[in-house]
Structure 1
């Protein structure tokens, strides 16, 4: 329901195709932003800046034919890079805006090889049969507080599109009239137009009416068979996750987009954008389950930032990964072998990461190993907290089978009610089970980089055992993959021994994302060297050996 106190954003989107009516040329966008002088920007009219968050790409090739008007007449708008800590494109006017702001422009979608897994770093993507993009990459978001409420109206004009084409967004199919939402949800809204196919599961019902579940999966063209198989897994998991997080009326929606290179998921408030490439057809089922499951859980699992702005992304990473080990097995969607393989992959990734002992705030995120170091450390920490709170429940005969489940669900429920939940609250929950000092100590150890040995967890998971494993070592610069030219080959590394050389042109490579969790796998590249195509394969490990842990399948007699 709309609210007259909100500001209004009305958009009309018209896909324009080339003369063959098969390739998208641009999206013609017409925006009207109203209510700008009602309490926004401290009560003054909106300032001169309307911004895109963290856009990449060439400005002139991205936006064209910009026209703008307000109640006083025409405005001149320039689109410029603002180089702060997190650079973005700023839309600036030549004078303060008065009254309603009307902007018209052509958004030319960019298709790029490397797409980030963060909404703020996403870029809209054109594909042959249509368009799938995120609002913050092609809609100027008013520079107001993120919590500001907005009434959104979306109108699609498909008069230039082939007749079988559909249009939809996170808010629904076709046109949307005065949908009240938050600025955050608006910026994360996914837009899709083209020859769209949808999988719409039958809604789950109980005595009180509809229950939470999967609203739909949407894609363009034809999905690979293994991705199509994810429809059943997802439609089975989402209602169970809604119940698990005590969010019975929640729904989730998945948009699937083909990109030149990569397999990744991007999470928003109630939807997920899955990017896949041609190689995805050969992806292992369990790897797809891990991708879909962790992405779904990430839409629920959050702590609020600290008062100084410090984010608590480690919490989302830890919860999404621990429940990617547990829940597909617990909910009967995958067998015990999936549980064991996923647990062992995460254990190996944690203990063999070169940054395993770095303080968390010192881990370089722009390195081969940084993001995985934080994700896996957070996961192992959560596994330990799960183990210790279970023991505490048994010791005091509390009758709570899995205290960590109750804690995580309660945090999610409280945040949905508008409460701010931070690290101190998380530690209070843990402290109620294992003692405040012990909870603080474990958290400090995790943050400081003290290696979390599992000697005190040998009986967990029906028994885990110490193992010796070699440290992860890519052996060449991470920038090589993006630049498609090999650089920084480390002398005496496995990469060098396999024949990889600086200056090799990379034609193809296997997925670097699996290097930490798939301990036995080799990394493969196809390179061009002076006109000769060469296949290179090597094990991404150094000679350094560390103590790790592993879960082994028990042998049964007979």
Structure 2
């Protein structure tokens, strides 16, 4: 679910092989970034802000007019901390106070510039405040700093300005100042558990990390892999989640991660899952550096198989990534990033014995229905990327379309190799190139696929990226399974998706199932199901609690159009001797 709700991991892939966790602070032998965070508490001992001191030691000087710090001001539809006015960035260097100016760009970046040539160590100070949210706050990437049951959680890229992102390797140090913190306050971030932690890598190591402080509860486990690596796995949360069994979920996620880390031949030292409670609405995940954030609300009961899928999808993002060829180049888009995560989140739990055959086939057909009944399935990749935040169905398209392309490619490779190879071969080869800091973009992917399938491989990708319908060959998930034509009704919310943000029904489609169910323009949305649940799951209803005048009304309907479109589903050839060739 990472693209739907953000996945920044491609930003730091080039430095992954150089990362190391240091046990203590050290005298820098290379440029360094030292960040000190001090939680500030109110009378109820709840964290209400973070005071930050950022110290940059770099031999390079920065000229007046050149970029000293940068920060992304919006991610998707989620704003970052806005350091202006009385809360502006304050900076000094060896020559004293350093006046700063800033400019914002059309792509959501803010750049700070020094008023003169810098000299020596640069120190910036600022105070980060959690975002104020309410029932009208739209669902978006889980990057913003938020209060959570007495604690605070947020991604660095939403509240920490950093030196310009390039290939410079830094010693990155984090220190939590807890001298004024009440008893029971603990801290953790993506790359370290405790008051001090360090990492070596590019600046994106910092910006793609999540930070958490407060009355944290946790589940941790040491995981030993066959390659001799022992990893620390942890799940961290506030309060007591009531919509799912957190202890059972933590154990399940640890088991899943151990098997996935073995499959992808992981060599890192830790992995963490952070839970964020949304008292209004929100369910889904966002991937970060060796971690992800799972958001949940009090209304959505999370079924065990759904939790397993989310865990699997987000974990996959640690490994197969595709290099972006050029800034702003969307050729590779999200079809690989999200498609490969959907592909392996369906395949690997079955391969590992975590779900049975019936559950596997159900998951596969949910994936197929999600693709075929997407009303935007004919959009090109570029169009889908450009319009991603217009509509949940557009946001979700690269997930299922990318996965269906990969299922088809898997079947074709298995067929041509007589079952000797699968899609794993090019995927793992691209991963090895990524780990060795070699080119691992679209060009390299297509070369690997042409080696497997010949020139047809490039045309298959072009057809997918043009939005042409994908019908995988019948043995895409095993020779005992076949695809059968089973047309279905495409998804249709029935009213403008912007209503979910405004919380007022607008753009109601006359004659739609939503209108037939009794929704009216002007109805106030009090509560609603997570929209992508019905968009992804063909049989699921959409349920809303709306307010009309002084009356609250429950409305439930099937969010589908009346006519059917071409759709395909997997079915067994026979009930005997079923096997999957994965």
Q: Do they superpose with TM above 0.5?
A: yes
Distance 1:167 1:269 in 2: 17
Is 1:379 equivalent to 2:399 in the alignment?
no
In structure 2, the partner of 1:82 is 104
Say if 1:29 and 1:106, in contact at 8 Å, map to a contact too: yes
In structure 2, the partner of 1:339 is 360
Alignment of 1:138-217 (within 5 A): 138-145=159-166, 147-176=167-196, 179-204=199-224, 209-211=228-230, 213=231, 215-217=233-235
The partner residue of 1:136 within 146, 152, 157 is: 157
Alignment of 1:61-460 (within 5 A): 64=87, 66-77=89-100, 82-84=104-106, 86-112=107-133, 114=137, 118=141, 122-145=143-166, 147-176=167-196, 179-204=199-224, 209-211=228-230, 213=231, 215-224=233-242, 225-249=244-268, 251-260=270-279, 261-280=281-300, 282-307=301-326, 309-311=328-330, 312=332, 313-363=334-384, 364-365=387-388, 366-394=390-418, 400=420, 402-435=421-454, 437-454=455-472, 457=475
Deviation at 1:118, TM superposition (A): 4.3
In structure 2, the partner of 1:28 is 51
Distance 1:63 1:446 in 2: 50
Bigger shift: residues 535-544 or 382-391: 535-544
Q: Deviations over 1:32-56 (max 9, x none)?
A: 1121526xx7xx5893542221341
Structure 2 vs 1, CA of residues 205 and 491 (structure 1 numbering), >3 Å: closer, same or farther?
closer
TM-score normalised by structure 2 residue count: 0.86
Structure 2 vs 1, CA of residues 418 and 372 (structure 1 numbering), >3 Å: closer, same or farther?
same
Distance 2:327 2:111 in 1: 25
Secondary structure (helix, strand or coil) at the match of 2:262 reads helix
Deviation at 1:190, TM superposition (A): 1.5
Bigger shift: residues 304-313 or 543-552: 304-313
Q: Deviations over 1:117-169 (max 9, x none)?
A: 647xx211112321111111111111242x32221222211122111111122
In structure 2, the partner of 1:544 is 563
TM-score normalised by structure 1 residue count: 0.89
Say if 1:318 and 1:379, in contact at 8 Å, map to a contact too: yes
Say if 1:115 and 1:123, in contact at 8 Å, map to a contact too: no
Secondary structure (helix, strand or coil) at the match of 1:240 reads helix
Is 1:507 equivalent to 2:526 in the alignment?
yes
Which residues of structure 2 form unaligned runs of 5+?
A: 1-21, 577-582
Bigger shift: residues 291-300 or 169-178: 169-178
Deviation at 1:406, TM superposition (A): 2.0
Say if 2:186 and 2:215, in contact at 8 Å, map to a contact too: yes
Structure 2 vs 1, CA of residues 133 and 368 (structure 1 numbering), >3 Å: closer, same or farther?
closer
Flag the structure with more relative contact order, 1 or 2, with Cα contacts below 8 A and sequence separation at least 6.
Answer: 2
In structure 2, the partner of 1:482 is 501
Secondary structure (helix, strand or coil) at the match of 2:245 reads helix
Deviation at 1:305, TM superposition (A): 1.3
Distance 1:519 1:554 in 2: 23
Distance 2:501 2:560 in 1: 22
Deviation at 1:427, TM superposition (A): 1.7
Distance 2:327 2:157 in 1: 25
Is 1:52 equivalent to 2:71 in the alignment?
yes
Distance 1:100 1:508 in 2: 51
Aligned length: 538
Query: Superposition RMSD on alpha carbons, in Å?
Result: 2.6
Q: Deviations over 1:354-412 (max 9, x none)?
A: 12222222233122311222221111000000000000110xxxx62x42112211211
The partner residue of 2:547 within 525, 528, 531 is: 528
Deviation at 1:328, TM superposition (A): 0.7
Deviation at 1:507, TM superposition (A): 0.3
In structure 2, the partner of 1:13 is 37
Distance 2:110 2:147 in 1: 20
Say if 2:73 and 2:81, in contact at 8 Å, map to a contact too: no
Say if 1:484 and 1:505, in contact at 8 Å, map to a contact too: yes
Deviation at 1:3, TM superposition (A): 8.8
Relative to its length, the structure with more helix (as a share) is 1
